[in-house]
Amino acid sequence: MGMSKLNFWIRDPYHPLLPYQSSGHNFRVVILTADYKPLNFGAVHHGVFALTHQGPRRGKVHGQVEVPPGCYIVVGYASCKNVLTDFALVQVGCGKEVCVNLITKTMATCRNQLIWALNLAYKAGNQYKPASEEGSKIPKKVAGKVLEALKELGEYLPEDHVTPALPIDEEELLERVNEEEK
């Protein structure tokens, strides 16, 4: 069986075509198999691979690792553990190399994504159908308090460049949810 390569790049949230340059953080990548088990292979120990090449601010933001062909779930994080990327699903074939670009998330983007999800649950009313049984246990009162707190938190965070770029805003999303339920 031939080996495959995953070629990781951590990307900057404000300039996603560029390597991460918001700070000099060193990054690691967590590599899970498709059944959510940490990969243990070669340079990947307990699912963790430390990136090896420096970016513009001298932090380690790039690296390449050999893995068996397959499907992997990956996420990157900085060594300070307060910078995280989105998750990605990667499929790599025998003898192939795949570039995996992981965009870091700002706290403002995380906040806005959570607001979207809570707004759907909280404002969609009886039409809301949670993806899991646990989701149906969240009282609307609790979701409302969390929404208020998250909106207040936004007053202290830098601008989110990702969520506002989406081609649909929260109200339009809720309208579409209500239309689909009719």
Residue 131: predicted pLDDT: 67
The Cβ of residue 94 has, within 10 Å, a number of other Cβ atoms equal to 11
Residue 136: predicted pLDDT: 67
Residue 149 phi, psi dihedral angles, 5° rounding: -65, -40
Q: How far is CA 132 from CA 33, 151, 176, in A?
A: 23, 25, 21
Residue 123: predicted pLDDT: 66
Environment class of residue 32 by beta-carbon count within 10 Å: exposed (0-12), middle (13-18) or buried (19+)? middle
Environment class of residue 173 by beta-carbon count within 10 Å: exposed (0-12), middle (13-18) or buried (19+)? middle
User: Residue 93 has which token pair?
Assistant: 């074939």
Domain ranges of the chain: 4-105, 107-181
Residue 144: predicted pLDDT: 82
Residue 81 phi, psi dihedral angles, 5° rounding: 65, 20
Please tell me whether the overall predicted TM-score, pTM, comes out greater than 0.85 for this model: no
* pLDDT per 10-residue tile (average), the chain, 182 residues: 93 93 94 97 96 95 97 94 90 96 92 84 61 71 88 91 82 76 64
Are the beta carbons of 39 and 31 closer than 8 angstroms? yes
Topology of 4-105 in CATH?
A: Immunoglobulin-like (2.60.40)
